[in-house]
């Protein structure tokens, strides 16, 4: 039995995708039930109820936000997790080798679930892709204020505005017991490789290596911003001298002032961002 928790836009905003997925499920002779989230946090509640029952397969259908809510809500990890990417941002799916829409259904039948790392972040939050603070939050907040354009165009317009106007954040970073202070453009804990609808922020990240990739970038001088933007778009941000990358199992990032952090693109108030890798617990259908 497939228990599919779906973002309503997967049905209402992307009818062709929803119809194709349902047709594929019927062609496979699948037993399935759709559960549509009605508000922020509802997907987590549904995931908790379904995982407690411990029967069948739990499936998230939507973008990174829907997947994040489902992972945050899981209470019983004996039940495997599937993903049908159907959102505007499907960054984790890219790292996991999961095709968009109906093509992802085949993975639920033709593959075995694999152990997949995720991060426990405190205060009931988890992240399976990337959690961070700094310019990534500024970009997302700018996106939320924009009224016109596609999701992708809003993101890239917001990215450009943030690169031109964001002035960094003072943070104290502790990774595996070692602490340092930086004035950072961004500080992020990565399990996946990309965010922002295709920006390759941490290409070396591996989903099942038992490590999180800590990436933090010192605030650049304004004159260097265009070069940083080009490197970021080409997936080469790690090659820059102001970028720091290390593998660890746990990180704590404390900004000088309370603000916000993002977890797989979902923004929440945060006095600090903590992340601890969890490995060998979550089983997921992926490429």
Q: Is the pLDDT reported for residue 150 higher than 80?
A: no
Report the pLDDT averaged over residues 226-249. Answer: 87
Of 113, 125, 61, the closest CA to residue 267 belongs to 125
- Is-contact 263 269, C-beta < 8 A? no
CA–CA separation, 215 and 276 (whole Å): 15
Burial class (CB in 10 A: 0-12, 13-18, 19+), 217: buried
The backbone region for 229, taken as left when phi is positive above 0, alpha when psi lies in -120 to 50, beta otherwise, is alpha
Residues in the chain: 287
pLDDT tens digits for range 55-85: 999 999 999 999 999 999 999 999 999 999 9
Cα-based torsion angle of the residue sequence 233, 278, 57, 196 in order, rounded to the nearest 10 degrees: -10
Copy the structure tokens of residue 118.
């995720």
pTM: 0.92
Give the rounded distance of the alpha carbon of 272 from its chain centre: 18
For residue 213, pLDDT beyond 80? yes
Q: Which of 189, 161, 164 is nearest to 174 (CA)?
A: 189
- The C-alpha atoms of residue 226 and residue 156 are separated, in whole angstroms, by 14
> Which domains occur in the chain, in start order?
2-111 (3.40.50.10330), 130-277 (2.60.200.40)
Q: What is the pLDDT of residue 216?
A: 96
pLDDT at 14 exceeding the cut of 60: no
Residue of higher predicted confidence among 98 and 12 = 98
Inter-axis angle of helices 42-53 and 64-73, nearest 10: 50
Hey, what are 117's tokens? 């790392």
Q: What percent of the chain has pLDDT over 70?
A: 98
Q: What is the pLDDT of residue 233?
A: 75
Q: What are the beta bridge partners of residue 241? A: none
The pair of structure tokens assigned to 13 is: 């905003």
């Amino acid at each position: 039995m497939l228990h599919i928790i779906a973002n309503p836009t997967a049905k209402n905003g992307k009818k062709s995708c929803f119809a194709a997925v349902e047709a594929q499920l019927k062609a496979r002779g699948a037993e399935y039930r759709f559960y549509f989230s009605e508000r922020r946090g509802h997907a987590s509640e549904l995931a908790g109820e379904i995982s407690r029952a411990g029967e069948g397969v739990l499936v998230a259908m939507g973008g990174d936000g829907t997947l994040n809510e489902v992972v945050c809500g899981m209470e019983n990890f004996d039940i495997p997790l599937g993903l049908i990417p159907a959102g505007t941002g499907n960054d984790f799916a890219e790292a996991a080798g999961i095709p968009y829409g109906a093509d992802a259904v085949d993975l639920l039948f033709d593959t075995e679930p694999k152990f997949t790392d995720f991060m426990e972040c405190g205060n009931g939050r988890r992240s399976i892709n990337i959690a961070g603070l700094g310019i990534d939050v500024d970009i997302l907040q700018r996106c939320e204020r924009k009224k016109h354009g596609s999701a992708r165009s809003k993101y890239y317009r917001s990215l450009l505005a943030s690169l031109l106007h964001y002035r960094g954040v003072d943070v104290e970073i502790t990774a595996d017991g070692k602490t340092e202070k930086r004035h950072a453009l961004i500080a992020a804990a990565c399990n996946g490789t990309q965010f922002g609808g295709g920006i390759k922020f941490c290409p070396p990240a591996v989903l099942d290596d038992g490590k999180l990739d800590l990436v933090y970038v010192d605030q650049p001088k304004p004159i260097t911003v265009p070069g940083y933007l080009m490197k970021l778009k080409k997936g080469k941000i790690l090659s820059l001298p102001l970028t720091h990358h290390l593998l660890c199992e746990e990180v704590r990032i404390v900004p000088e002032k309370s603000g916000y952090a993002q977890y797989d693109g979902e923004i929440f108030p945060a006095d600090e961002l903590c992340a601890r890798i969890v490995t060998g617990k979550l089983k997921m259908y992926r490429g």
